Amino acid sequence: MLEINKGIGKPVELKGLKGTYLYLAVGIVACSLFLALILYGLDVNTYLTTVIVLSLTLGGVWYCMRMSAKHGMWGLVKQEATRSQPKAIIINSAKPFAKLRETKRPNTRKGTSTTGR
């Protein structure tokens, strides 16, 4: 019997591009097409337009493939998460540390009992 839901839970993949990087590469190609239309509408030389658009498209897709191979599917998400974390936590008072002393922790060391035997 054939499995109908064979690829459920797996990321979208095409030629080594996985997940977010695939969508980014598609966006780069779409923007390059839009740029070609704008340059053609401004009567820029056709050969110059072709060179500009092809170099930007190939460079962008190559960059996406390199980042996908280096960081994996969740690379962009992890990168964004590390940017949103603070570089340092600055505390101007000792109150949080004083509260840590006040909290009682249970004695969980081996060899000691809570009954005193």
DSSP-derived secondary structure letter, 115: S
Query: What percentage of the chain exceeds 70 in pLDDT?
Result: 79
pLDDT digits (tens, 9 = 90+) for 30-80: 999 999 999 999 988 999 999 999 999 999 999 888 888 887 777 777 877
Residue 104 has a pLDDT of 64
Judge whether 115 lies within some domain: no
Range of the domain at 32: 13-102
Residue 5 lies in a domain: no
**Is the model's pTM score more than 0.85?**
no
- The answer as to whether 54 is a domain residue is yes
Any domain includes 117:
no
Mean pLDDT of the chain: 80
pLDDT of residue 53: 94
Inside any domain, residue 66: yes
Our count of domains for the chain comes to 1
Q: Which is nearest to 74 in space by CA: 15, 18, 3, 10?
A: 18
Residue 110 lies in a domain: no
